[in-house]
Structure 1
Amino acid sequence: MKAMLLAGLAGLLFAVGLGIGGMTDPARVLGFLDVTGDWDPSLLFLMAGAVGTHAVLRRLIVHRPRPVFAPAFPNLSQTRVDRRLVGGAALFGIGWGLAGYCPGPALVSLAKGAPLLVLFVAAMLAGMALFRGWEAARTSMRRGTADGEQPTGGRPHAGTTP
């Protein structure tokens, strides 16, 4: 319960920071992305502050024997840059550039109740759900069917038995 309460508090602090930093204003975000026009560098300072804070605190955190509210640090098995990472980053950037919102600021901005923003968040959540369903289907196809059969049209995958 304590960890959930602190996670909620961290989310609230993040939301306030997004609002103070101007990240909930799509015009400011789009002004930052428009490097050939009327460029607004204010978000550059916001990002520099966030990256600097992370760089300092990460060094302190990783030297701890364990996290404050978890039994261990997560084991990050995926550390290489691959096609999916680059594709996801590109899709994120395109969406951010077109709408002026990314997920965090969009959720915070829902308090405005703007119909297009509600549509944006609904489409974002639908896209996330669609991706999860697609990933689940891909994973089950790799593992075979529930009764142990292999997916049609292919060799057994690593970790499966014939």
Structure 2
Amino acid sequence: MSVLKQLTAFGCGLLFGAGLALSGMTRPEKVLGFLDMTGQWDASLLFVFGGAVTTAGVAFRFILSRNAALPGNHLELPEEMAVDARLVVGATIFGIGWGAAGYCPGPAIALLAQPNIEAAYFLPAMIVGWGLYSLLLSGGALQSNR
């Protein structure tokens, strides 16, 4: 990978992490407050969601009009668009984990810049989950019919 591509990737990651931190997404109490619609609901993350959807909408419109990514390499888009059981189960597990812990992988990784005890528990558990998924996938238990 060229130095320019590495710097671009680093800059994008840094911008993403800063956005997560500024929006409060690295604070589980903020996320759990947003998910608690029957208690004291904190709707402020709706602005984060709205900004993300707007930015992605504009960016995807631009990106999809091109035949290549900005650095010039091939633009890889998913070929399969069907919603299958594997997708639904994965999304459900992700949602339950996010709702229980208040972290999802992006903000959890961003917490490496501001370590705390919760991240010390969550990050290894997340890595174990990835490993279990890989084991189940390679064993055929999670193979899809694609």
Same fold judged by TM-score > 0.5? yes
Task: Give the conservation status (yes or no) of the 8 Å contact 1:31–1:39.
Answer: yes
Does the CA contact (< 8 Å) of 1:110 and 1:118 recur in 2? no
| Offset, 1:70 | 4.2
Report the residue type matching 2:13 in the other structure.
Answer: G
Moved more, 130-139 or 12-21: 130-139
Kindly provide the CA deviation profile for residues 39-96 of structure 1, in whole angstroms up to 9, marking residues without a partner as x: 0000011001100111112111111131122432114122111111111111111011
Q: Name the CA distance, whole Å, in 1 between partners of 2:128 and 2:112.
A: 16
Percent identical residues = 44
Aligned to 1:28: 30
**Residue aligning to 2:69:** 67
Distance 1:91 1:48 in 2: 24
Partner of 1:92: 94
TM-aligned CA distance change 1:75 to 1:111, over 3 Å: closer
Unmatched segments (≥5 aa) in structure 2 = none
Looking at structure 2, the residues matched to 96 and 71 of structure 1 have their Cα atoms a distance apart, in angstroms, of 33
Q: Which runs of 5+ in 1 are unaligned?
A: 143-157
User: Could you tell me which residue of structure 2 aligns to residue 106 of structure 1?
Assistant: 108
The RMSD of aligned alpha carbons is: 2.0
Correspondences of 1:118-133 after superposition (within 5 Å): 118-133=120-135
Secondary structure of the residue that 2:140 maps to in structure 1?
helix
How far residue 109 of structure 1 moved from its aligned partner, in angstroms, is: 1.4
Q: Distance in 1 between matches of 2:24 and 2:77?
A: 34
Matched, 1:117 2:137: no
Separation in 2, partners of 1:43, 1:105 = 14
For residue 138 of structure 1, give the secondary structure of its aligned residue in structure 2: coil
Distance (Å, rounded) in 2 between the aligned partners of 1:116 and 1:45: 26
> Relative contact order: is structure 1 or structure 2 higher (C-alpha 8 Å, sep ≥ 6)?
2
Which 4+ stretches in 1 moved above 3 angstroms? none
Match of 2:5 in 1: 3
In 1, Cα distance between equivalents of 2:132 and 2:34: 30
* Other-structure match for 2:56: 54
1:110 partner letter: L
Give the Å deviation of 1:111: 3.0
Structure 2 length as normaliser, TM-score? 0.89
Note the alpha carbon deviations across 1:116-143, whole angstroms, 9 max, x for none: 321110010111012112212229xx8x
